[in-house]
Amino acid sequence: MPSPRPSGATAARSRITAEYVAGCDGAHSRVRSELGLTFRGHPYPQEWLLADVLLDWDLREDAAHAFFRPDGLPAIFFPMRGHRWRLTLPFAGSRDGQAPRLEEIQRLADERAPRPVTVSDPTWLATFRCHRRSASAYRRGRVLLAGDAVHIHTPAGGQGMNTGIMDAHNLGWKLALVASGRAPSALLDSYGTERRPVAEDVLRLTHALVRYGSTSHPVKRLARDIVVPALGRSTAIQRRAARRISHVYVAYPPGPLGRQDRGRGAPGAGQRMPDIQVRAGGLATTLHGVLRQGRHVLVVPPAHEANVLSDSALRPFRAHVDVFTGGVRKPVLVRPDGHVAARGRARQHARDNRLSDRPVRRTGWSAVRPAAYAVRAASTARTTDSAASTAMTAFRHAMPGRYRRAAAAWKSRATGL
């Protein structure tokens, strides 16, 4: 990266040669523009104001507070550290991008809050125009987009940061395998296939929050003001809302990177694996801590560890998989981004404790063979007498029917290729 130049200095240019480019350059993405991708969607009317301030109000600081006027103009108060609050004022008129003054924030707070409140000591005052948009493709050849460069929405629900971080996490481990020559570039197609439905769900959620939060229809407003507080008092609803807003609920569809099984219980293939305690070599740690190494992790029940580690069927894949014991009833293969790739079955076949060559078999560690397929779909082992065999080729040989179906599904859903 070029060194920062002093103020007033002539701009310097530098050339960087890279195999891949990830455009994470925000809503006004130059990368997206250079690719000629459309950014479909629409703007919301008027501008929004943000103010990080102190309040002389005894609001609970462990909850967000939203107040709605009959004309549909809300005021939302989000607690921050140090007894500060972020005051959000949607639909504050057209200002040509000019930042508000504290006096204007005070006037709008007086108009929209249910009782007088004094705002003071601002650390940030900003204005912005909200849009609801999504790029026509997540990938174009060797260029990929992530975060606000590929989707933007209102700040309702606080979804932007988690969505962008999970884009990067999903893309990062796949791009690392491809860039290092351990996986074919086709692996990158799964990035958009998995992440686009999540972003579309976020756009629907944030749009619904804005629409119902700013409605001026008397019947809809009355229903909102009765139903929302009533549901908010339900512990089950609170847990469900927390899972959705935090994106813990996100599950990726079955495919080459997620081996679906018929077993019951969670988490299943594609779902997020909880941060359980795991152990290897007598050392205890956590699963999410282990996943920071960017590798697949196979978690097995402690009673099955010796048999799994000594089985010859796992040996070809040990370079790509770390094996740990943990509190699981069946073996679970976890992707580097924390989502389940495959599960084994809890039952143990009475006559055969060996690893099965079949995709699914009733053995205590039958996850290893599906795990091998999932790993080979995400990383490739080099052969000694030829060039590297691609992950998709290995997967095709292992499960030809599933490969063809998955490839057809990817091709039909991928755009911009």
Residues with Cβ < 8 Å from 40, sequence gap 6 or more? 133, 134, 135, 136
Most confident segment among 60-64, 186-190, 358-362: 186-190
Q: What percent of the chain has pLDDT over 70?
A: 79
More confident residue, 5 or 291: 291
Alpha-carbon distance of 180 to 379, in angstroms, equals: 10
For every residue of the chain, which 3-state class applies, written as one string? CCCCCCCCCCCCCCCCCCCCEEECCCCCCHHHHHHCCCEEEEECCCCEEEEEEEECCCCCCCCCEEEECCCCCEEEEEECHHHEEEEEECCCCCCCCCCCCHHHHHHHHHHHCCCCCCEEEEEEEEEECCEEEEECCCEECCEEECHHHCEECCCCCCCHHHHHHHHHHHHHHHHHHHHCCCCCHHHHHHHHHHHHHHHHHHHHHHHHHHHHHCCCCHHHHHHHHHHHHHHHCCHHHHHHHHHHHHCCCCECCCECCEECCCCCCCCCCCEECCCCEEEECCEEEEHHHHHCCCCEEEEECHHHHHHHHHCCCCHHHCCCEEEEEECCCCCEEECCCCEEEEECCCCCCCCCCCCCCCCCCCCCCCCHHHHHHHHHCCCCCCCCCCCCCCHHHHHHHHCHHHHHHHHHHHHHHCCCC
Q: What fold is seen in the domain 277-376?
A: Glutaredoxin (3.40.30)
Q: Is residue 386 predicted with pLDDT exceeding 80?
A: no
| 50-65 average pLDDT score | 89
pLDDT at 306: 84
48-129: CATH class: alpha beta
Q: Is residue 85 predicted with pLDDT exceeding 80?
A: yes
pLDDT at 413: 42
For the chain, where do the domains classified as CATH 3.40.30 start and end? 277-376
Q: Is residue 258 predicted with pLDDT exceeding 80?
A: no
| 27-45 average pLDDT score | 94
Q: Is residue 51 predicted with pLDDT exceeding 50?
A: yes
| 269-277 average pLDDT score | 92
Q: Choose which CATH entry (3.50.50.60, 3.40.640.10, 3.90.320.10, 3.40.50.11440) describes domain 22-43+132-246.
A: 3.50.50.60
| 359-387 average pLDDT score | 36
Ramachandran class of 97: left when φ > 0, alpha when ψ lies in -120 to 50, beta otherwise: left
For the chain, where do the domains classified as CATH 3.30.70.2450 start and end? 48-129
pLDDT in tens, 136-195: 999 999 999 999 999 999 888 788 899 999 999 999 999 999 999 888 999 999 999 999
The residue count for the chain = 417
| 348-364 average pLDDT score | 30
| CA torsion through residues 51, 57, 62, 65, sign | negative
For the chain, where do the domains classified as CATH 3.50.50.60 start and end? 22-43+132-246
Mean pLDDT for all residues in the chain: 78
pLDDT in tens, 211-239: 887 777 888 878 877 887 777 778 888 88
Bridge partners, 233 (sequence order): none
Given pLDDT bands bounded at 50, 70 and 90, which one contains residue 9? low
pTM (2 decimals)?
0.75
Q: Is residue 405 predicted with pLDDT exceeding 50?
A: no
How many CB atoms neighbour CB 399 within 10 A?
19
Strands of the 283-286 sheet, one edge to the other: 283-286, 277-280, 321-326, 296-300, 332-334, 340-343
Q: What percent of the chain has pLDDT over 90?
A: 41
Given pLDDT bands bounded at 50, 70 and 90, which one contains residue 1? very low
More confident residue, 400 or 94: 94
pLDDT in tens, 282-339: 889 999 999 998 899 999 999 888 888 887 877 887 788 899 999 998 889 999 999 9
pLDDT in tens, 103-122: 999 999 999 998 899 999 99
